[in-house]
Amino acid sequence: MAEARYQLCRHIISNQFGEVVETVCSLMVKLGRIPLRSIVRESGLTPKKVFDVLVTLIQHGMITHAESIEGGNTVAYYSPNLHEILRRARIGIYLKVLHDRLDPDGFKVANLVLQNGVMTAKQIKRSMGITAAQKKKLAQLQKSILTMVRERILIAVQPKDLLTKSDRLISEEKDMKSKESLIITANKLKEIRRQAREKLDYEYDDSAIVGMASRVKRKATGDVGSSDLFQDDLYNPSKMHIAGDSSDVVEDDAFFRLNFDKLDVLLRNQQIIQYFARKINTGASAVMKHILRLTEEKVKSCRETSSNRITANQIVHSVPADIPLKDTMVMDFEETGNRETRHIEYVHAYIELLGGDPSGILAKRDERGSGEYQVDFQKAFETLRNKYVDTFIQEHFGSVATRITRVLRAKNKLEEKQVAQFAMLPVGVCRSHLLKLFNLGLVDLHEVAKSSDRFPARTLYFWYINYEKQLDSMLSIAYKQMANLYIRLGYEKSSRSRLLAKMEREDVKLDPSLLGPSEVKAIEEYNKITQILEASLIRIELVVLTLRDSLVSKYS
């Protein structure tokens, strides 16, 4: 898996940043934590080029760095952030989610921040060409950025973000040790490390939004509707009068970046919605969509195993009355009351239907009032994981292997004869399929020796699913497939390099008739092939999102 991941990182960086950045980044992925002088020596690039590449990678959050004192000198070590590098493969999916969720100004802001890595509010304004005289556009931009910060789509970049979690733990431990005046015993050291971990966990759970300040909202005399995000002179008391209400504003000098963790949550929620759309109907998916919307504010990343509790009344009020739930469900009781009352009845019916689903994704936690509900993201992960694994096995090994996998999932550890009995298959057929699945790491074998010599004839062999190993195998396969798709994309582009260069010429852009019939046909064929390859990349990346990023594990 390590080699497949390394190759995929190379192709992602090369596709998005070019060969020079790929040379440095792939070297760091291969060697791990490394100082600047070693990067220059191993890459063969000039120190200036390496420094520029490191600045670019730090700007986009793909590497972290930490300083260490060695021989009286300060040495900076750089480490690759593999998680961030691999997540850049789903940039296109992120943009689609942002396009559907944000207004046009918000989507432009997201595009700018994504291209530059991190930006301040002043830089965003300057890049969009908005001046202080354009008060309406400034007000709209203020609203868009404020909404993105409140929803944690944009988050402030802090100095601690440039360090790995291990470096931050070491730094916290060092600070706590320096405050101790007595000899640090083993128990005291254990307590210090526990407190350091708790402090990092507290910082993660802290609900405060960094990069926002609460100010008194002031309105310009003579222009009641004006407000501003960037210009400090508009807060000058000599020019403004206090309107009397408080308002949050984005700090001008705070650097912001896109919060990929939050975007992963939105993508994960979309997959849950699509699951219920396929399993039940569009009405159930519509109700589930609004249930997940109610929980989005509290869920910061896919590390959470469950959402906050919400009441049935909150769900009912969040589902718009114009959603045609009546057309997607046949009720077994006579409809009474007005349209609003009937809509409430349909929403309650769908809540009960979702709560009773065997997947257990929506769980009822309390009977008070109309009931309190909670979304179990761990159950959602298990459901989606099983669906993707079953689909993969069905496509590669057939329905018999899928049946065997489901038997092992339901019964846990079984001997070969028991697997054949539950799957209603001959032992020979069952054995051949089990070996195929075992060779790919999708099922595993547990040995229980009857005697100390572990002689095979006196040993029991139980087949079961090792979920951690299964995930590793599925991810390794997905990484190899994605790397192959990137190679094919590169081949298609290089084989038509002259034609694509001609397409970029200004005269051809102004007059497409300069292209011959064969060139037009070649361009159409190229667009069709790249569209198919990119769609395949998106489908595989959504599987990777579920297997790697949608749970609390070593991949998070």
pLDDT digits (tens, 9 = 90+) for 343-394: 888 888 888 888 888 988 998 888 777 788 899 999 999 999 999 999 999 9
Average pLDDT over residues 434-456: 88
Q: What is the model's pLDDT at position 535?
A: 92
The 10s digit of each residue's pLDDT in 183-226 is: 788 887 788 777 777 776 666 555 556 655 555 344 443 443 33
Of 407, 392, 387, the residue nearest 441 (C-alpha)? 392
pLDDT bin (cut points 50, 70, 90) of residue 536 is very high
Domain boundaries, the chain: 2-88, 102-258, 262-374, 380-465, 477-549
Q: What is the model's pLDDT at position 136?
A: 86
Alpha carbon distance 83, 70 (integer Å): 29
Lowest mean pLDDT segment, chosen from 40-54, 235-249, 416-430:
235-249
The 10s digit of each residue's pLDDT in 66-78 is: 877 777 788 888 8
Looking at CATH, the fold of the domain delimited by 2-88 is given as: Arc Repressor Mutant, subunit A (1.10.10)
- Stated as kind and residue range, the H or E segment containing 217 is strand 212-220
Q: Residue 242 pairs with which residues in a beta bridge? A: 218
Tokens 């390590």 correspond to what residue? Answer: 2
**Which CATH architecture group holds 380-465?**
Orthogonal Bundle (1.10)
Amino acid type, 83: H
Alpha carbon distance 420, 427 (integer Å): 5
Domains 2-88 and 380-465 share a fold: yes
- Stated as kind and residue range, the H or E segment containing 69 is strand 63-70
pLDDT bin (cut points 50, 70, 90) of residue 243 is very low
Q: Residue 64 pairs with which residues in a beta bridge? A: 79
Tell me phi and psi for residue 47, to 5 degrees.
-55, -35
pLDDT bin (cut points 50, 70, 90) of residue 239 is very low
The 10s digit of each residue's pLDDT in 309-341 is: 888 888 888 888 888 787 777 766 555 557 777
pLDDT higher than 80, residue 234: no
Q: Span 262-374: which CATH code?
A: 1.10.10.10
Percentage of the chain beyond pLDDT 70 is 88
Let me know if 518 is exposed, middle or buried by CB neighbors in 10 A (0-12, 13-18, 19+).
exposed
- Stated as kind and residue range, the H or E segment containing 259 is none
pLDDT higher than 80, residue 51: yes
**Could you tell me which residues come within 8 angstroms of residue 59 by beta carbon, excluding any fewer than 6 positions away?**
116, 117, 118
pTM of the model: 0.81
Give the Cβ contact number of residue 179 at 10 Å: 7
Average pLDDT over residues 457-486: 91
Q: What is the model's pLDDT at position 247?
A: 64
Estimate to the nearest angstrom the gap between the alpha carbon of 252 and the chain centroid: 27
Of 428, 439, 382, 430, the residue nearest 403 (C-alpha)? 430
